[in-house]
Amino acid sequence: MRSLSLLFSILISCSLLAQDVLSPENLWKLKRVYGEQVSPDGKSILFIQKEYNLAEDGGTSHLMMVKLNGNDPNRISDGEESIGGAQWRPDGKKIGYLSSSSGSNQLWEMNPDGSDRKQVTSFDFDIGNWSFAPDMKHISFTYEVKIEESLLDKYEDLPKATGRAYNNLMFRHWTEWHDYTFSHVAIASYSPDGDDTGFTFVDIMKNEQYDSPLPPFGGGEQIVWKPDGSALVYVCKKMDGTQFAQSTNSDIYLYSLSSGETRNLTEGMMGYDNDPVFSPSGTHLAWMSMKQEGFEADKNDIIILDMKSGTKTNITSGVDQTFGHIVWANDHKNVYALSPINATYQAFEIGLDKSVRAITSGTHNVNSISLMRGNLIGTKSTMSHPNELFLWTIEKGEETQLSSGNKELISSMNMGKVEKRMIKTNDDKDMLVWVIYPPDFDPNKKYPTLLYCQGGPQSAVSQFFSFRWNFQLMASQGYIVVAPNRRGLPSFGQKWNDDISKDWGGQAMRDYLSAIDEVAKEPFVDNDRLGAIGASYGGYSVYYLAGIHEGRFKTFISHCGLYNLESWYASTEELFFANWDIGGPYWASPKPESYLKFSPHSLVHKWDTPILVIHNELDFRVPLNQGLEAFTAAQLRGVPSKLLYYPDEGHWVLKPQNGVMWHREFYGWLDKWLK
């Protein structure tokens, strides 16, 4: 009996020590950390921690507080409602945030400990992208203004009719049809004492048929107060229709509260000008700027404007890196910014004298930064760990972790090894390739292996932790993952980034084949069980590889990929992207080479390998017709194929239960053909 008891105790102990592997279901148990805000006294940090409930198919954003005293973060919101846009009031006595608990999205305030919650605004419309003026006399926000006439306005006797009519381009964008409204910036009076000001407001873009922030992904970082509260700047692309669809020329506008006048600060700068940040004294303004109109993946330089003299200085012109997420130093002599370098994202110090110094280093992504008492705080991720909050000393980059909401779950997961390899391409260039191995990898076994094709096309395969294209999840299912930083991906100099444009089916495809062919030489890679997977341009890559792979792969998965470049050009919305990367419309004379050489549909007569096609109804960037055409062609050719379709998702899959279903179908298909 004692022996049986001892054996039972040993088995129990072993089961407690055994680690699980990542699964689609527990991906949605991970907490997502973002939106950090440093308190005015520099002693505390607010941040958002979003938690999902798979059964309810939704999530709740909690407001968290962490102090620099070694204690764990604590939640200060009530946990019942999602908190958005949380900000410290400039005097540090209150925290403002957005809540829809009263029926519409309005500004609320609470004490720093979460007590005494009160509604501040009661507009008859939702507000967003809000901010306190530094002098606390005003707030700014955005709201939707209906300017254009709809068919329902025109035909009031047909209230149940659903038709829409448009006479210009940009009638839909990413996931939404144009609804005849525009996002405008407004300023309202505010009293920190809670006096009834009536919250009279001024629409500083009155009657303009333009949006600020920039649709579809711009936010409050594009609307910034001058430190004395006398003015604010905002980003806008003041053009419409065909011009809007073909241009990236956004500008930064300064609105003066005293005069009511608006001035364009970036007149004549033809690319994206974005994310302005005032120096602490307000004497200078910094922003990110692209030079070339129509090129959305151009180098982002940091421009400094002297507000008094009007002199503009490009402080990163001599650096072959692109930058973003600017933060001013207190001494006005430096700014801090993020930059991709060798397939990671790091924090840098850039002097107004054009000196550049790396603050952080390592195999990770620094995803955001703010200044806190002479240090930087922000979020960091790796392929094996989602975002958490960290502090870095500016002088040495020494790191301290401030949040650990996922510690218990991540520590219970058996993660695979992530290996950095440099592989020679067919044109003798060095290409960084990540290889991710299954947990408990055994080099004496043979493993099915996946070539991961990145989207963008200009988007680095960095140390991101994806909640869909998760490399550790792929590895946990028994696959080796090969993730190349092929031509066109940033962080290896601007030429490497630019080489993809107008050459989609050229060198980038050869880079993919160089990567998989080299790794496939390893004895633990089963060459009879290779697959290729990807989304967006990665989905395009899968379709293209299906016509040129010469038997290398046994299956393919394409998510929202481009299949027929001519029909895609005529159905997408941001035509500046197509014009730059494809070379223009297919009816141009001479016809751009991309249509003649690089459209996957022209190679479909060579398709002979099983393929899963995934596409979504609300993807207007790569419209649904692309997936339907590919699936129809595969079916008619007798290629084993399957269509996975979501009527309520866009370019990505964002709903929890849809996400789990996506993963189950994804791995079900791979397991069918590779295991």
DSSP letters, 244-305, are: HHH----EEEEEETTT--EEESSTT--S-EEEEEE-TTSSEEEEEE--STT-TTS--EEEEE
* φ, ψ at 312 (rounded to 5°): -110, 135
Name the pLDDT band for 548 (thresholds 50, 70, 90). Answer: very high
Distance of alpha carbon 375 from alpha carbon 112, whole angstroms: 22
Q: What is the CA radius of gyration of the chain?
A: 26
pLDDT at 81 (0 to 100): 83
- Name the architecture of domain 315-412: Beta Barrel (2.40)
Distance of alpha carbon 106 from alpha carbon 102, whole angstroms: 8
SS3 238: coil
Distance of alpha carbon 668 from alpha carbon 647, whole angstroms: 21
Q: What percent of the chain has pLDDT over 70?
A: 96
Name the pLDDT band for 2 (thresholds 50, 70, 90). Answer: very low
Q: Where in the chain is the domain with CATH 3.40.50.1820?
A: 414-674
SS3 447: strand
Which residue among the candidates 140, 368, 381, 536 is catalytic per the annotation? 536
Taking CB atoms within 8 Å and a gap of at least 24, the contacts of 216-223 are: 216/173, 216/174, 216/175, 216/176, 218/274, 219/129, 220/85, 220/128, 220/129, 220/130, 220/131, 221/275, 222/129, 222/274, 222/275, 222/276, 223/129, 223/131, 223/140, 223/142, 223/185
Give yes or no: 251 in active site: no
Question: Could you count the other beta carbons within 10 Å of the beta carbon of residue 257?
Answer: 18
Looking at per-residue pLDDT, the higher value among 363 and 192 belongs to 363
List pLDDT tens digits, range 81-135. 888 999 999 999 999 999 998 899 999 999 999 999 999 999 999 999 999 999 9
pLDDT at 194 (0 to 100): 72
Tokens of 468: 């869909």
Residue 72 has pLDDT above 90, yes or no: no
Give yes or no: 498 in active site: no
pLDDT at 403 (0 to 100): 95
Looking at 110-250, list the stretches that DSSP marks H as alpha helix, in order from N- to C-terminal side. Answer: 151-154, 241-246
Distance of alpha carbon 524 from alpha carbon 447, whole angstroms: 6
Residue 546 and residue 609 in contact, taking contact as beta carbons nearer than 8 Å: yes
Looking at per-residue pLDDT, the higher value among 12 and 371 belongs to 371
List pLDDT tens digits, range 159-182. 999 999 999 999 999 999 999 999
Which residue among the candidates 184, 601, 615, 651 is catalytic per the annotation? 651
pLDDT at 196 (0 to 100): 56
Q: Provide the mean pLDDT of the chain.
A: 95
Residue 3 has pLDDT above 90, yes or no: no
Report CA-CA distances (Å) from 245 to 241, 297, 566, 585: 6, 16, 17, 13
Query: 80 Cβ partners below 8 Å, 6+ apart?
Result: 60
pLDDT at 102 (0 to 100): 87
Looking at 433-572, list the stretches that DSSP marks H as alpha helix, in order from N- to C-terminal side. Answer: 471-476, 494-498, 507-519, 537-548, 565-569
SS3 436: strand
DSSP state of 602: G
Give yes or no: 150 in active site: no
List pLDDT tens digits, range 313-342. 999 999 999 999 999 999 999 999 999 999
Give the residues across from 110 on adjacent strands. Answer: 95
Report CA-CA distances (Å) from 78 to 46, 83, 93, 640: 15, 9, 19, 51
pLDDT at 79 (0 to 100): 84
List pLDDT tens digits, range 188-242. 999 988 765 567 899 999 999 999 999 999 999 999 999 999 999 999 999 999 9
pTM of the model: 0.95
Tokens of 294: 């129509």
Give which of 469, 505, 295, 553 is closest to 461, Cα–Cα: 469
SS3 533: strand
CA angle 112, 33, 650 (to 5 degrees): 125
List pLDDT tens digits, range 23-42. 999 999 999 999 999 999 99
List pLDDT tens digits, range 587-635. 999 999 999 999 999 999 999 999 999 999 999 999 999 999 999 999 9
List pLDDT tens digits, range 185-196. 999 999 988 765
Fold annotation for 414-674? Rossmann fold (3.40.50)
Express the helix, strand and coil content of the chain in percent, nearest 5 each: 20, 35, 50
Crossing angle for the helix pair 507-519 and 537-548, to the nearest 10 degrees: 70
Among 184-198, 460-474, 520-534, where is mean pLDDT lowest? 184-198
Length of the chain counted residue by residue: 675
Tokens of 317: 């012109």
E strand or H helix at 188: strand 181-189
pLDDT at 198 (0 to 100): 63
pLDDT at 195 (0 to 100): 65
Q: What percent of the chain has pLDDT over 90?
A: 93
Residue 648 has pLDDT above 60, yes or no: yes
Which residue among the candidates 298, 499, 511, 619 is catalytic per the annotation? 619
Residue 382 and residue 463 in contact, taking contact as beta carbons nearer than 8 Å: yes
Give which of 244, 247, 263 is closest to 255, Cα–Cα: 263
Is the peptide bond between 585 and the residue preceding it cis, with omega within 30 degrees of 0?
Answer: no
E strand or H helix at 24: helix 24-27
pLDDT at 349 (0 to 100): 98
Q: Where in the chain is the domain with CATH 2.40.128.660?
A: 315-412
